[in-house]
Structure 1
């Protein structure tokens, strides 16, 4: 069989030129520039390479050229790990705490038993200690010394004398030696300020604590006018506590010094 004839190209008019095939553009070759030579300038502080004055970073190791001017904003460069924001105050506190602990240990070792006992008394648990005996140098006929140790703040002991009654005393005794740590005093006739002003209130007094060996420990105290107040008195094996009046608030010719309550606290046995 005869193959089919392919369609013939249309006739072209005389002088017609067909469009040529598009060809890729040839790459442009750059002409070599003249060698500018090595840069001259201050050396890099990191690697020592000279850098032109216009540079902010070293052309060799990219270190910051600090003497080339200040950048608009400072911060870590690429690849630099930022510093942790830890202040010096934390280390100062740690050093102070360590020094305090070391001082306690050294004081307990070189200070002997008194220093060790002082540390034990500071952290010891306090429990109430109730006196078994009481007496006074002088008392009001209706306000005896037992009123200051009955556990009620609306009853009170009175000296029975008008004025400050300096030198008068009130004493409590314990049934057995007690490690005394603190004393609570309620001056006046009541812990309430309005009721306490009915009589004079202790202002200055001495506390004389006697231990089982007969040794007396004297301390001078000055308290505020009204309200329950604590006095730190640390005596081992205490048997008696005597309060000696020296001065008073509101001492007049028709008022006597009154103490509503005296409470004692010692070391817990547990």
Structure 2
């Protein structure tokens, strides 16, 4: 999320990397209250360990925030998800949240262009005893999605989480709507994109924020009028839009 054309956007160190970065709340103190009262006390030790490992990585802004990880974990339990997909893995914080929520025979098809980042978090995932649930594929997601459709995997997934290249979100949606089952859920991350979706055209935005903003806004408009889904956009983390397939 923090790279564009190979350029890495360095993040500033903070006691809690989420504060001032991943949350859209206007008050850092209020966000800190949420973390310390309802998120951190319930966060599994292995997820805290992976979050600490990721915080040392120069691209740590790319990780899923702790409150969003908690939300995903509960959501997957509520919908009794068993067969899921994740596009954009990074070091695997959201992947671990998913794996912990799934039953013992649950499966996650996980895709990312960078295996090295995934392997940074893999020892923690193995320590948690859930690595067997993960089928990691390195490389671009679109060819693999096309192959799944060619193989007749329509309606095979209960839940799909997308947190990869924002300029391909609409291309993903065109394929994922057929891969998720009727009644299943697709979650698109970063759909409020640092709050830039409401920024004026001449606002002084960071380079990568400005580059991806139009793609995010295009996705939001498309989801709002897609008759095949019900949607709910939530100000969790950097914004997550849930799409429940109804037809």
Range class of TM-score, shorter chain: under 0.3
Higher helix share: 2
Between structure 1 and structure 2, the one with the greater Rg is 1
- TM-score by length of structure 1 reads 0.20
Higher strand share: 1
- TM-score by length of structure 2 reads 0.21
